[in-house]
Each structure stands twice: as C-alpha cells, then as structure tokens.
C-alpha cells in the first residue's frame, strides 16, 4: 500500500494502522522492544512528546481522556485531526527546528514516529508487525545520511544486524536499534 503524498491524508492512514494495534492490545503491561517500556508506554510516548513539541511552538492541544490507553489514544488522535483540519497550512515555529507548514512538520517529525512505533506496539502485543515497504524504505533512505546525528540524539540505539534479504521494514527497525 502506498501512502498518500498529502501529509494530512498520510497522517490519517498511518494513524489508522496504529489505532488498529492499540485496539487489538490485550495486555498493556507486555514488554515492548524499547528498553524499559511496556505496551502502554508506546502509546503514552506518542501522546506526550508531540504535545510538548507543539506547545513549545505555541500550539496547545486539549487534554486527553486518560481512562485507558485506548481512550487516551482516540482522544489524542481526534485532537490532532481537528488541529490539522483547522490549521494544516498555518506556519508553525519551533525553537529547535525553525518555521514550516504545520502539516509538513507533523508529517516529518510525528507521523513517521507513529509509523515506526506501530512495529513496537505490534511486537509487544503479538500483532502483525509488517509495515509498508515503500514508506519504510523512504524513511530509511532519509535517515541514513543523518545517522550520526540520530545516534547522538539518544533517541535511537545502535543499528542491529539484519539479513540482507529482510523486508524493508525490518531494515528500518534494525537501523533504529530494534532487534528484528
């Protein structure tokens, strides 16, 4: 499946797959592939960091319904979809990355993170780990030239070994430090 070239539509498509994994999770305390995390931490990370990121540029999202990870995720997605519906073309200025179109910045920094963490949640909860091959290859191609910066950021572990003939999503996940 090729994702839409439109960042708002691509957000919806990628979030839909992650939402399926959220709704398919039976054990929120299952160990995740990120050291020290369980399944609920994957969802919490995706909710928490983008809210802080946006707030540092002056965009505040309403609080999420935190009765369960499923409800928190659904509430969070609704807030982001509403923001994109209202403000996708607005300029957004972040103190660390500069200014750009809000939809493009969310796409570059957040949608790709949701995509990769879909694998983490799927792996933690024994669901389908397969990620879109074309988008996996695209992300990996974009990350390779900035590998040193990514590694020193502390957000990615050392690259893990992967078979040459492994599917593109396994190459991507191994690149960001996951054992596949």
Can you give the CATH number for the domain in which 40 is found?
1.20.120
pLDDT band for 1, please (50, 70, 90 cuts). Answer: low
Residue 1 lies inside a defined structural domain of this protein? no
Same domain, yes or no: 62 and 125: yes
State the residue range of the domain holding 12: 7-129
- Side-chain half-sphere exposure of 120, counting CA atoms within 13 A: 25
Same domain, yes or no: 77 and 103: yes
Residue 41 lies inside a defined structural domain of this protein? yes
Same domain, yes or no: 74 and 97: yes
CA distance between the termini of the chain: 22
Residue 120 lies inside a defined structural domain of this protein? yes
pLDDT digits (tens, 9 = 90+) for 110-161: 999 999 999 999 999 999 999 999 999 999 999 999 998 888 888 888 999 9
% of the chain with per-residue pLDDT over 90: 89
* Cα 22 to the center of its chain, rounded Å: 13
- What was the pLDDT predicted at 7? 97
Instruction: Give the DSSP per-residue string, the chain.
Output: -PPPSSHHHHHHHHHHHHHHHHHT-S-TTSBPSSTT-BHHHHHHHHHHHHHHHHHTTT-PPPPP--SSHHHHHHHHHHHHHHHHHHHTTSEEEETTTEEEEHHHHHIIIIIHHHHHHHHHHHHHTT------HHHHHHHHHHHGGGHHHHHHHTSS-------TTS-HHHHHHHHTT---
- What was the pLDDT predicted at 120? 97
Same domain, yes or no: 67 and 116: yes
pLDDT band for 67, please (50, 70, 90 cuts). Answer: confident
Average pLDDT, the chain: 95
Q: Taking the model in full, what pTM does it have?
A: 0.94
- What was the pLDDT predicted at 154? 80
Boundary residue ending a domain (129, 151, 171): 129
- What was the pLDDT predicted at 132? 96
Same domain, yes or no: 75 and 155: no
């Amino acid at each position: 499946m090729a994702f839409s070239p439109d960042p708002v539509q691509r957000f919806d498509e990628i979030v839909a797959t992650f939402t399926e994994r959220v709704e398919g999770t039976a054990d929120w305390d299952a160990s995740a592939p990120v050291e020290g995390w369980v399944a609920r931490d994957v969802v919490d990370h995706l909710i928490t960091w983008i809210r802080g990121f946006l707030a540092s540029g002056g965009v505040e999202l309403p609080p999420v319904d935190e009765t369960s990870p499923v409800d928190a995720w659904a509430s969070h997605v609704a807030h982001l979809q509403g923001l994109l519906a209202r403000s996708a073309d607005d300029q957004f200025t972040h103190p660390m990355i500069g200014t750009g179109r809000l939809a493009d910045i969310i796409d570059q920094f957040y949608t790709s993170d949701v995509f990769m963490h879909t694998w983490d949640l799927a792996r933690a909860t024994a669901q389908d780990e397969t990620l879109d091959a074309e988008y996996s290859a695209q992300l990996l191609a974009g990350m390779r030239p900035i590998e040193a910066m990514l590694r020193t950021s502390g957000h990615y572990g050392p690259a893990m070994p992967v078979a040459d003939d492994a599917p593109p999503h396994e190459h991507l996940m191994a690149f960001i430090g996951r054992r596949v």
